[in-house]
Chain A
Amino acid sequence: MRKKVIFKGTLLPYLLLAPQLVITAIFFFWPAGQAVYQSFLREDAFGNSVQFVGLENFLDVVNDQTWLDAAGRTLVFSGSVAALALGSALFLAVQADKHIRGADVYKTLLIWPYAVAPAIAAVLWLFMFHPNIGLFGRMLNGLGVPWDYRLNGSQAMLMVIMASAWKQVSYNFIFFLAGLQSIPRSVLEAAAIDGARPARRFWTIIFPLLSPTAFFLLVVNLVYAFFDTFGVIHSLTHGGPGKATETLIYRVYVDGVINVNFGSSSAQSVILMILVVALTVIQFRYVERKVHY
């Protein structure tokens, strides 16, 4: 859709765009450019000299076993978060879309966790599963399960996955519900008259029609798990114990902010940027295709 009626003006449009463009240039493009630039540089141990090292930072990063471990961990973490958050959201959305009494109340009660910050979600889970003060943490220990996510890496991973997925369910729920409600009732009625039972209707009619929503959400959830969960990990485990919950983004933070290794941190940033760009492009490709069909 293209507007054909417009206003005349030479200076005004630039003035209207200026604030957005200035902020974008200073705080987005300049730093992103710097990240790319610095990813090709290396500083000596005392910060006295800087030299151009080409792709060496990148090679160091991808040859570093601990980075590769973090990458693998990120994959497991993000996959689990996305699967858990999408699966439970879809299940709840299908239930809430049924014609039952109190459906609106259910919806409201499932939507509000969207407002909870990832870091706060982590804190709430900490209150529940802290080995000493948490209700469930103590319960587990009481049952003879040695539970302490601060010492046990797998338990720590489980905690950050649960807290991260918990926070994301309501977001997915909202979109799945909107997707379900946009399916024309007549299509479902036709399927019912064709003799399809509810379960069959779900898998043969509803799920295929929801798949664009699901795909969109998958990308959003992966991006969320890559980046926004920094708050969860930082407040719950600080990447530990050891490096058990150190994801790629946490690693960038550790190398850049704590270890002050600009070159390596920048190279990692650039790799992540490429990842986001790839995900976004895939998403837009897919959305475009969806428009055609």
Chain B
Amino acid sequence: MAASDRPHENAVDIGILADRTRRRQRREKIVTHICLLVGILIFVFPIYLTLIGSTHDVNTIGRGDVPLLPGAEALHNYTQAWAAGGGRYMGVPAATMLTNSLIMALCVAVGKIAISLTSAYAVVFFRFPLRMVFFWLIFITLMLPVEVRIIPTIQVMVDMGLTNSMAGLVIPLIASATATLLFRQFFLTIPDEYVEAAKIDGAGPIRFFIDVVLPLSRTNIAALFVILFIYGWNQYLWPLLIVSDRSLETVVVGLTKMIGTGDQQNEWNVIMATAVFALLPPVAVVVFMQRWFVKGLTETEK
């Protein structure tokens, strides 16, 4: 962008000005790079430190001599974390916790998408009594996060015998206003003519849903899947409340239980290896599906 807001008396002035501008632009570019690198450092360094920590033996970390280069204990630490767990009370193997987290995240994501698709389809493509009432009932659940209704929700779970079960972990989290809103928004953009063409072709509502609406929603489903997978994986308060059976422990909750009050004597090497396990799947999903994810996020929340 040229600095052209000054009257130029002659060619020499312009030459100097252009030179100065070019130098300023180069300087600005360098500053931008530095700012971004510092930003990235702040985000990457904690992970780096954790990765490094997970390759040293317990005493190195316990002493506090955290080196900045990898050690030789990676295999040992990760094997122990995977197969046996760690922490002072010999916790749950990461393999178990990761499986639980994976099942929970997948079920939550798939379940939310499934019931949101069908309910949005009903609201958009049909007219029936109480349609808008139902829509608003779903809509206002936006305002009721788990956190504000902890106690009575646990009571419901206890009454239904759903505590300490995978079903209990998943089902209550499946209802989703955001996903329903997203699909409703998208369905409204499907041209009326598709429905009309389908009617003339002889397709009924269920056929139209399967043959036309679902394929057209692919992108939205993929985007939402990424967000909901992470949502399910990262649940904290809910598993903490619902599950006491440690064989159902999810990795996020399990990890903080391993740390406890943060004693120096913890098996920090195993804890750090577990932290890496806990981080890896959702981060991988975000990085590999970045395009879907960004689109999904910015569209869901608007």
Q: How many residues does chain B have at the interface if contact means C-beta atoms less than 8 Å apart? A: 108
Q: Is the CB of A92 within 8 A of B39?
A: yes
A193-231: which residues lie under 8 A (CB-CB) from chain B?
193, 195, 197-198, 216, 220, 223, 226-227, 230-231
Please give the distance in Å from B277's CB to the nearest CB on chain A: 11
Q: Is the CB of A234 within 8 A of B240?
A: yes
Contacts of A125 in B (CB 8 A): 46
Does B64 lie at the interface of the complex (its beta carbon under 8 Å from any beta carbon of A)? yes
Please give the distance in Å from A105's CB to the nearest CB on chain B: 9
The answer, among A126, A175, A220, A235, for a CB contact under 8 Å with B298, is A175
* With known contacts A24-B141, A119-B255, A5–B46 Cβ distance under 8 A: no
Q: Is the CB of A19 within 8 A of B115?
A: yes
Q: How far is the CA of A105 from the CA of B33 in the complex (A)?
A: 12
The answer, among A2, A23, A234, for a CB contact under 8 Å with B171, is A23
Please give the distance in Å from B45's CB to the nearest CB on chain A: 8
Q: Is the CB of B118 within 8 A of A19?
A: yes
The answer, among B3, B150, B171, for a CB contact under 8 Å with A27, is B171
Please give the distance in Å from A115's CB to the nearest CB on chain B: 4
Does B222 lie at the interface of the complex (its beta carbon under 8 Å from any beta carbon of A)? no
Number of A-B pairs whose CB atoms are under 8 Å? 303
Q: Is the CB of A109 within 8 A of B152?
A: no
- Specify the main secondary structure of chain A where it touches its partner: helix
Q: Is the CB of B127 within 8 A of A6?
A: yes
Please give the distance in Å from B273's CB to the nearest CB on chain A: 12
Does A164 lie at the interface of the complex (its beta carbon under 8 Å from any beta carbon of B)? no
Contacts of B199 in A (CB 8 A): 5
Does B217 lie at the interface of the complex (its beta carbon under 8 Å from any beta carbon of A)? no
* With known contacts A20-B138, A227-B147, A9–B205 Cβ distance under 8 A: yes
Q: How far is the CA of A260 from the CA of B106 in the complex (A)?
A: 33
Contacts of A9 in B (CB 8 A): 126, 128, 205
Q: How far is the CA of A14 from the CA of B273 in the complex (A)?
A: 48
B145-159: which residues lie under 8 A (CB-CB) from chain A?
145, 147-156
Q: How far is the CA of A276 from the CA of B177 in the complex (A)?
A: 15
Q: How far is the CA of A91 from the CA of B172 in the complex (A)?
A: 38
- Stretch from A58-66, A74-82, A131-139 contacting the other chain: A131-139
The answer, among B3, B42, B119, B255, for a CB contact under 8 Å with A123, is B255
Instruction: Show 14 A/B contacts (Cβ-Cβ < 8 Å), sorted by A.
Output: A1-B189, A7-B204, A7-B208, A20-B116, A26-B156, A91-B35, A100-B29, A110-B43, A112-B283, A120-B275, A128-B45, A169-B43, A197-B3, A257-B154
Closest 4 CB pairs of A and B: A195-B5, A34-B152, A235-B256, A117-B234
Q: Given A35-B151, A169-B43, 4 more contacts at CB 8 Å?
A: A124-B275, A150-B261, A193-B4, A227-B148
